[in-house]
A and B are shown apart, each in its own frame.
Chain A
Amino acid sequence: EPEVTQTPSHQVTQMGQEVILRCVPISNHLYFYWYRQILGQKVEFLVSFYNNEISEKSEIFDDQFSVERPDGSNFTLKIRSTKLEDSAMYFCASSERDEQFFGPGTRLTVL
């Protein structure tokens, strides 16, 4: 069964450093998403991406965040200058239409 994959599973970085989180969505899907979940809190929408451009973004998704689909298979989330409060689990999801398939997540720890 096709699935969304994410790498790395765990990323540790120093405050102020740039990180890139990678996702491979399901191949025939058209919509791509990034979410974050701070430990013990709710899943928070960051951004949706369709037709090679951002479709929707949340208030969290400020100038320090960017997304890219550099080739036909990868979907990346870049955080330019990480802060302590960026520590969270980051989930990528993809959908053909409405049903979203989530990846296993990348745990980001900012020290």
Chain B
Amino acid sequence: SQKIEQNSEALNIQEGKTATLTCNYTNYSPAYLQWYRQDPGRGPVFLLLIRENEKEKRKERLKVTFDTTLKQSLFHITASQPADSATYLCALGVGLNFNKFYFGSGTKLNVKP
């Protein structure tokens, strides 16, 4: 089955710095990859989607890259703020209809003022 690994259990950075989170996957290549934010006790909130034929996607302070050769996606938050502190999840869209999703266990980001 698909295995998804997200780097380290927690990432601590200083406010204003760029946070870089990693998502690695094994086995077959997904049609697309999504990034979500999850706060404690809440449902995931969609942030960005990148397709297999795209190298990079940006949205405000967020940037996602997708390397299907390395089977890796990087998620960057520039000029990080304490309000960015949360758990970030990557999810792979796979299956015959590409609406079956495997989630990583998430990386907890702590942005310190």
Name A's B-contacting residues (CB within 8 A): 4, 31, 33, 35, 41-45, 48, 50, 55-59, 91, 93, 95, 98-105
User: Is there an interface contact between B99 and A56, defined as CB atoms closer than 8 Å?
Assistant: yes
Give, as a whole number of angstroms, the nearest-CB distance from B4 to chain A: 8
Number of A-B contacts (CB under 8 A): 64
20 contacts across the A-B interface (CB closer than 8 A): A4-B43, A43-B44, A43-B89, A43-B103, A44-B103, A48-B97, A55-B99, A55-B100, A56-B99, A57-B100, A58-B100, A98-B34, A98-B49, A99-B34, A99-B49, A100-B44, A102-B43, A102-B45, A105-B41, A105-B43
User: Is there an interface contact between A99 and B46, defined as CB atoms closer than 8 Å?
Assistant: yes
Q: Hey, which chain A residues are within 8 Å of B93, CB to CB?
A: 98
User: Is there an interface contact between B101 and A45, defined as CB atoms closer than 8 Å?
Assistant: yes
- Beta-carbon contacts under 8 Å, B1-59 to A: 1, 32, 34, 38, 41-46, 49
